[in-house]
Structure formats: structure tokens, C-alpha cells
Amino acid sequence: MRTTSFGDRLFFGLNYGLLALIALTCLLPLLHIASLSLSHTQEILSGRVTFWPVGWNTDAFTSMIEGTRMLSAFRNSVVITVVGVALSMLVTILTAYPLSRKLFPGRRYVTLAMIFTMMFTGGMIPTYLIVKIFGLMNSYWALWIPALVNTYNMLVMKTYFENIPDELEEAGKMDGCGQWRQLLQIILPLSKPVLATITLFYAVSYWNSFFNVMLYINESAKYNLAVLVQNMIQNQQLLQEIVLTGAQVEVVPESLKAASVMIMMLPMIVIYPFLQKYFVKGVMLGAVKG
């Protein structure tokens, strides 16, 4: 039985300590925000709230839902995310699959051309002009079409497809499977880890869309949660109006800010545990080879 040396124990101990410290820097601000959103107003004003709610109170969430366009913005975020993820996954799969097949002519040059776009892009102004020329302004298509394929996500999925044994493809051909049946009945059922991982990547990206929404969407009624929350956090006058609107409840701007951030984060926090078991496996098996 191999014994662990003092150097190894010291190395692992330092690593665990560093990782725990990094985890705390991510977790403690989240706990503080959650505590502010659920604490009583007097406890917030007195500065007694740290990492645990003091005087349980949900009035901040009530004021946000009843006194703002939070529900409509939430609905807009859901539409942007669900449709965007569906379109991006469809196009990413249809791009990665042929590029992973050895018989696909010119696949190396197509892959290199797509990798080129990771290092050099047209820039914001040309992209804006193209979106405007095609009449996509003030439409969610301006968010979906330019972001249909993320090259990194496509490469991860392509590499995962390449790692699936060729014998399965040969067996499918012997059974009379064409390329579509092989993709739908063999490749995709075996690719659940990478599909879940890339779905999560796209979902987080679309859910947190802020700059593109500000750039391409002109109507405030079409704003998503990211834009609405950012506007409320920066606009102190708007927060005061929300406080005055909810005169029947006792809230302060700090709790409103915290509640809006929690509403923004909760969907991704809820979804992640269901995909977490696929996450590490999908990234590792689909990692880009050197």
C-alpha cells in the first residue's frame, strides 16, 4: 500500500485550502445578497445583516413583483433563453456532426476557418450595421442569429463526437442507417453529457444577455431581466419610487437591489444541479485536443 509523503500531504492541503478560499469568495457575497433580500428593514438599516437573514421578511420580493415590470422582463428572458438555446443547439449539432466525420471533404479547412473567428472578429460597428441592414433591430432575432454558433462550444461537441467509437457507426451502416438516423439514434443518445454542458453554456449566455439587448432592443417592454435589474440598481430615483409605491410594506433600496439580483440568479441556480452530473464529464471528454 502506497504511503503519502509529507510533501504530498502539504501540497494537497495547500490546494484544498486555496480552493476553499476561492469557493468562499464566490459563496459569501451570494449569501450576503440573499440575506439582505430576506431580512427585516430595521435590521438592514442597523447593519446587523451579514450572511444569514435577520427578521425574516419577503416584502422586497413582493414590491419588486407588484411595483415593477419584473414579471414581463422575466417572461422576456425566458423567451430569449429558451428559443435561443434551441436554435443554437440545433445549429451547433448540425455543424459539429459533419465536421467530426472523417469522410466529410474539407472539414479541416472549415474547422480552421471557424477557429479564425475566435481570434479575429468583424467588431461591434460592422455587426450592428449588418443587423440594421437586415431589419433585425428591436427584434429578438438580433440576439439569436449573430449568436447561433459559439465556436468553442462547437469544437467541444465536435471533439466529443469524434471520441465515439467508429464501430458504432459501422454497425449502424450495416443495419441500413443513413447519416440522419445515425445522428438521431446513435450519436445524440450517447452524447448526453456534452449536450447538457453546451446547453448550460448557451442558457447562461442568453439569460445574462445585457449589452446586446441594450444595443439592439429599443422598446423597454422587450427588455429582459438583466437590463431591468441593471437599470434599477443604477437608478436610485427608480428605487425610491418603488419604495413609495409599496407604502403598505416597509422596504429599503438595499433590499430591493438584493431581491432583484436574487430573482435574476435563481433560475440558473435551480437548473444547474440537474445538469451538474453531466458537466465535468461533458467538458473533459469533449475537451479540445492539442
**Measured distance CA(224)–CA(17) in Å, rounded:** 39
Asked whether 178 and 269 are in contact (CB, 8 A), the reply is no
Burial 202-230 (b: 16+ CB within 10 A, else e): bbebbbbbeebbeebbeeeebbbbbbbbb
Tens digits of residue pLDDT in 6-20:
777 888 889 999 999
Rg (Cα) of the chain, in Å, rounded? 24
Angle, helices 253-285 vs 151-163, to 10°: value is 40
Q: Which three cell numbers stand for residue 232?
A: 434599477
With a cut of 70, list the residues of the chain below it in pLDDT. 1-3, 67, 235-251, 276-290
Residue 105 gets the label, from left (phi > 0), alpha (psi -120 to 50) or beta, of beta
Predicted pLDDT of residue 229: 81
CA angle 172, 177, 181 (to 5 degrees): 105
Q: Sign of the C-alpha dihedral, residues 158, 159, 164, 167?
A: positive
> Mean pLDDT across the chain, nearest whole number?
81
Cα 209 from Cα 211, distance rounded (Å): 6
The model's pLDDT over 240-251, given as tens digits with 9 standing for 90+, comes to 656 555 545 566
In the block, cell 479540445 appears at 288
Q: What is the pLDDT of residue 35?
A: 84
